[in-house]
Amino acid sequence: MVPFPPGGVQPAVDARQMERAAALVRQYAAPVDATEPAAELKARLRSLIRRLGSQRYAQREAASTELIRIGPAALGALRAISDSGDLEVAARAWSAVAAIESRTRRPLVDRLKQLGLAAVMALNQQMSAAQGALAAAEEAASQAEWAGDAKSLAAARAARSAAGTRLRLLVRLSGQIALPTSIPVPKSGMATRYGIRPMVQMPLRRRG
């Protein structure tokens, strides 16, 4: 929660700014979609993907750099090999995906910073909702496992994974916003599992 001034008075925030901030936070936490590569790029992508497993380090590095440069059009190919049996290929694929997603989300962070307190308030609201969703999914998974309901257990685990991913993204975003905010610790072992620390205080940054 945002630490408001003494006396419990919540600062006034323009409703339109809150709506814009909430939409931007949702967009930040949403999966980054892969774009369809142009026909002439597909052969290039196949070649670069093969070079991730090259015997030569320089070729592997060059392929990783080029795939990141290509951006969202490379995401489909990279995600397809992210569970490769070759550990280095899988690691390079995951690293490239993370770099592309981070670069794609960067303009959203810049726009949220411009919204100031509205961005922090919107983030806190959605972080609280994400923690609730994660706790509910954890509980549903436990109940399904106890009941021996394989179908419900699979659904609960999928929901838990999605909620955990969303919460991790929101925690990451909280470290990039310029105003102070704090993150309450969720139940059980989720704090450790999802990288959440108690009452993380973000420093004020000077403007201008």
Name the nearest CA neighbour of 52 among 72, 38, 66, 35.
66
For residue 73 the two structure tokens come to 């059009």
DSSP 48-79: HHHHTT-SSHHHHHHHHHHHHHHGGGGHHHHH
> Which pLDDT score, from 0 to 100, does residue 193 have?
52
> Which pLDDT score, from 0 to 100, does residue 178 have?
55
Q: What is the pTM of this model?
A: 0.72
Name the nearest CA neighbour of 173 among 109, 90, 99, 84.
109
Q: Is residue 43 part of a domain?
A: yes
In this predicted model, what pLDDT tens digit does every residue of 86-102 receive, in sequence order?
Answer: 888 899 999 999 999 99
Angle formed at CA 82 by CA 91 and CA 170, multiple of 5 degrees? 85
> Which pLDDT score, from 0 to 100, does residue 188 have?
47
Q: Is residue 204 part of a domain?
A: no
State how far the alpha carbon of 153 is from the alpha carbons of 104, 140, 148, 165, 183, in Å: 33, 8, 8, 18, 29
Residues of the chain with pLDDT under 50: 1-8, 180-188, 190-192, 194-208
Q: Is residue 8 part of a domain?
A: no
- Boundary (domain end) residue, out of 86, 106, 126: 106
Shared domain for 138 and 182, answered yes or no, is yes
DSSP 79-127: HHTTT-SSHHHHHHHHHHHHHHHHHHHHHHHHHHHHHTHHHHHHHHHHH
Q: Is residue 153 part of a domain?
A: yes
- Boundary (domain end) residue, out of 106, 130, 163: 106
Shared domain for 98 and 128, answered yes or no, is no
Q: Is residue 158 part of a domain?
A: yes
| Residues of the domain holding 98 | 39-106
Shared domain for 123 and 93, answered yes or no, is no
What is the rounded distance in angstroms from the CA atom of residue 83 to the CA atom of residue 89?
Answer: 9
> Which pLDDT score, from 0 to 100, does residue 4 have?
46
Shared domain for 73 and 49, answered yes or no, is yes
Contact 32, 71 (CB under 8 A): no
In this predicted model, what pLDDT tens digit does every residue of 174-192 receive, in sequence order?
Answer: 888 855 444 444 444 544 4
Q: Is residue 200 part of a domain?
A: no
What is the rounded distance in angstroms from the CA atom of residue 98 to the CA atom of residue 100?
Answer: 6
Q: Is residue 152 part of a domain?
A: yes
Contact 35, 72 (CB under 8 A): yes
> Which pLDDT score, from 0 to 100, does residue 11 have?
60
